[in-house]
Amino acid sequence: MAQSGRYRFILIAVVFHLIYAYSIFSIYFVSPIVHGMRAYGVESQEPPAKRLVLYVGDGLRADKAFQSFPDPSPENEDAESAKVPRPLAPYLRSRVLEQGTFGVSHTRVPTESRPGHVALIAGLYEDVSAVTTGWKLNPVNFDSVFNRSRHTWSWGSPDILPMFEQGATPGRVDAYTYTAEEEDFSKDAYHLDDWVFERVEKLFQDARNNATLDAELRQEKNVFFLHLLGLDTTGHSYRPYSPQYLHNIKVVDKGVKKITELIEEFYDDHKTAFVFTADHGMSDWGSHGDGHPDNTRTPLIAWGSGVAKPVVNASGIAKGHEDGFSFDWGLDQIQRHDVAQADVATLMAYLAGLSFPTNSVGELPLSYLDTDSKSKAEALLVNAKEILEMYHVKEELKKSIELYYKPFSGLGDEAHSVPHRIAQIQEAIDLGNADDAIRQSNELIQLGLQGLRYLQTYDWLFLRTLVTAGYIGWIVFAITTVIDLHVLNGEFEVVRSLASMTVFSSVLVALYSVLFKQQSPYVYYAYAFFPVVFWEEIWARRAALVKGGRVLFGQTASNADIAKLVLSTIGFFGLLQALVRSYFQREIYTVCYLLAATWPVFYGSDFVAENLSLVATWAFSCICMGGFTLLDANKTENLNLILLGGAMAFAVGALYLLWEKTHVPNVPDEGENAASVSVNLSHIVLGIQLGLVALSMIVTRSSIWYIHARTGLPLGTKAVGWATLGLSLITPSLERFQPNKYYIHRLVVLFLQFAPTFVILTISYEGLFYFAFSVCLFSWMQLEHRVYLHTKTSRAGPAVPAATKTHIASAAEGISMGQKGEFRALSLADSRIALFFFFFIQSAFFSTGNMASISSFSLDAVSRLIPVFDPFSQGVLLMYKIMVPFAMVSAHFRILNQKLGIAPSALFMVVMAVSDIMTLSFFYMVKDEGSWLDIGTTISHFVIASLLGVFVAGLEPVGDFLVGDVEFELRGSKSGEKQGNGLQNGKTRGSINGLAK
């Protein structure tokens, strides 16, 4: 496979990984939504309340809602009395102590606003991939409490309210929202909550002068929804332990008190039910999305008509506090009633006398109801009927498309059928055995949920087999391709027979027939396509696989060689497993870096002595890199560290500029005048880059000051920030007029190109990481080349192992081929280089302080450029910063390939093959049950591992673009003369004329 084959391989890799990265959502997190169910409501009782008010404190953690803190109000920060801890939500606390029932609402992943509100208002847990639809107008396509109400008035964020308004029956839901521009991270966000409270007040004030509005408000089964976004925005900006976040809790509490009293006064009938909760919590680093308990535990307080009064245990700790989570809330005497988030929708529907949402899987929390046992039993039976109706519709759908359907055993036979069980429960209610009816209804609900689970996972075995065959097929296919192209130089022809093509075609047709009969989604066809194609290709190239194995392993001629190979293989796969564990323990990178620091010693004292400064630089950079993963991933903004990182980058550029002026001759082949222009232009570019680094430090300092002052980010400051970031990216293009292709110069320009990014878009030590990481990559690149030359020039004698002799021969052959513009064949020794590269790819992500989580990124930095809430734009900036270290890895790796005479795609292919060993491990670790922490963590791990595989596939063209035309000579030097770094002159453009002697 020539150049076209190389890019074809990359295209296949990218397409395959992107499609298979989605596989966990096709298997573990399929949308549970179906339609056509009959609605069920409690019609035998008078509704407990005539109306319902829902308050949602977006991003409010359960512990922060109930804990005591010193007064965080800005006007009291210096008062001595303010230092005494006190509850920040006294009104909500009074509801817990005197009026209602409270507990913790446990959310599911992803802990984002759309799925959280869908669970609260519709009683439905959307599939995980639906999180992205919450960042744009996307009406819900299922039933909800709002849709079951007579009318719903809602106030709040334009990101949440419109989807429920447009997804409901036309005219049933009114949504009043502020503009997206008002969600400004550089200003006090509690004003968003004040906006909501003021608009609610205005509605009821208008009703006093508007008879039509007054009549509408006084109808039964109305719902009022107050979406309070201030806490979420403040938490993102300042963290949930900050005075600003805690002050926002006080603002929310005062507003809830004011609106509650206003509504009670307006109706004056004590027939309003109130529910206060949150859609998700927030981590200590100001983010959410994964399954960390800080993100999944939210407060739930219900009071008013139909809600039970608090259960008080005067003699000790009440029930519900056994987990110790609420030990510092001062509420030990009040019984805590925890629920799943979807249960809240069921509770609200019952209190307001509405039918349960038809897609709801919520279980009615009876402990929250102020009614007799018989009424509870009747309500719970209706709840069971609603869930079983959904099971019935799903089962009929599954029966209609399956080739052979095996029914759920719990509800499959006549003795356990749904009608039979419902009749038994109704009989118990009629006989006055309410407690027994409740027990049976609970059992039936659990069976219904298990049946839904059974139908949801019905195709798991089939799909997981396909995906596993696909990943293993890809690994073997990639290795086969590498051997064919870069070990055997493509000398083997692909051999296909009519019999083999018939067999594989038949398998594909059979799979597609099953998928067609079962009306499977289109992506399932891709899951089936890849394993068949990969294994057919492997079978057709089996001769190359066998021959390549003999060539590679033919180097192991002695027992010592075999032992060395075994130990190397164990170490290779051991490191891969260590990287898997590193997703749980970042400190593993520290151990790996410390071990890597000793790597040059294994080539002997002579090698260390000859390259002492380089070895010392490598060891020092490894020690520095090892320190980053010992630091807390929960970073807070530190201007001093940001500026120190910028100063280090500035120093690198300034020192190189001085070095280049004294080491680069001005007499190239084109003549002195052209040389002067070229050198002067390169100096000008470096000077501009240094200026941009300094400017980025100044504008970042200014932005942080304005944001902390909460006065809003001035347009001029924001414009300078954007201009600095943009100019830093395009300035290197000026060199196209008079290019300086010397590889060290190109790497310094590349380093400075991204340095302002690691000033403007960082909050702590990321700039120092960027400096240390770049030094580590450069010293590794140089060391690998020196190791190659050291091995090549070693004298082969009787004491030299056969493997070493083979490597020496391979090295000599590589130089000869490089002079012809060709590439040398790979050897087993090159697998170490691929493994180092893969390790750096992983380290590029984790060493910046990121945890193995999709929610570990702070919005503090991007708010310096985009202060208003704009998830897609902010996400692009975050992704760009994350990608910069990958670009640096790619550039150094590309240059190393050229210096070693290795084909550009060879080791990339090796890395793409072995990376999926990790991906497949994480695929089987994915959970969709258990603690929300486990679920969110396993999703994050698989997604990160999958995307890193895609990044690897895309890094090769990135490296080509950045450094594909570099030269290994100093412009103007004489042929054969050694300069600065000791490299032989000669230049390369896709080949390797530049191997130093």
What amino acid occupies position 985? N
347 pLDDT tier (thresholds 50, 70, 90): very high
pLDDT tens digit sequence for 447-472: 999 998 888 888 888 888 999 999 99
What is the predicted pLDDT for the residue at 808? 42
Residue pair 487/831 in contact (Cβ under 8 Å)? The answer is no
Q: What is the sign of the dihedral through the CA atoms of 931, 936, 937 and 941?
A: positive
pLDDT tens digit sequence for 679-695: 578 888 889 999 999 99
997 pLDDT tier (thresholds 50, 70, 90): very low
What is the predicted pLDDT for the residue at 664? 57
What is the predicted pLDDT for the residue at 131? 56
Angle subtended by helix axes 871-900 and 932-963, to nearest 10: 50
What is the predicted pLDDT for the residue at 345? 97
Residue pair 876/762 in contact (Cβ under 8 Å)? The answer is no
pTM: 0.71
What is the predicted pLDDT for the residue at 185? 66
Residue pair 683/749 in contact (Cβ under 8 Å)? The answer is no
635 pLDDT tier (thresholds 50, 70, 90): confident
What is the predicted pLDDT for the residue at 134? 53
Does residue 713 surpass a pLDDT of 60? yes
Q: Sketch the domain layout of the chain as residue ranges.
A: 47-370, 372-456, 585-665+680-794+826-902
CATH class of 47-370: alpha beta
pLDDT tens digit sequence for 307-319: 999 999 988 899 9
What is the predicted pLDDT for the residue at 115? 87
Does residue 394 surpass a pLDDT of 70? yes
Does residue 186 surpass a pLDDT of 80? no
Higher-scoring residue by pLDDT: 420, 445: 445
> What whole-number percentage of the chain has pLDDT above 70?
86
What is the predicted pLDDT for the residue at 354? 96
Range of lowest pLDDT (93-102, 392-401, 562-571): 562-571
38-42, 92-96, 806-810: which is most confident: 92-96
Does residue 339 surpass a pLDDT of 60? yes
414 pLDDT tier (thresholds 50, 70, 90): low
Rounded mean pLDDT of 481-509? 84
Does residue 758 surpass a pLDDT of 60? yes
Q: What DSSP character marks residue 748?
A: H
Higher-scoring residue by pLDDT: 799, 580: 580
What is the predicted pLDDT for the residue at 978? 38
What is the predicted pLDDT for the residue at 2? 45
Residue pair 196/255 in contact (Cβ under 8 Å)? The answer is yes
Cα angle 212, 215, 219 (rounded to 5 degrees) comes to 145
Q: Which residues of 559-569 are buried (b: 16+ CB within 10 A; e: fewer)?
A: eebeebbeeee
Higher-scoring residue by pLDDT: 682, 506: 506
What is the predicted pLDDT for the residue at 973? 45
What is the predicted pLDDT for the residue at 183? 78
> What whole-number percentage of the chain has pLDDT above 90?
42
Burial of 413 (0-12, 13-18, 19+ CB in 10 A): exposed
Rounded mean pLDDT of 267-280? 96
Q: Which residues contact 123 (CB under 8 A, 6 or more apart)?
A: 145, 342, 343, 344, 345, 346, 349, 356, 357, 359, 360, 361, 362
Rounded mean pLDDT of 295-312? 96
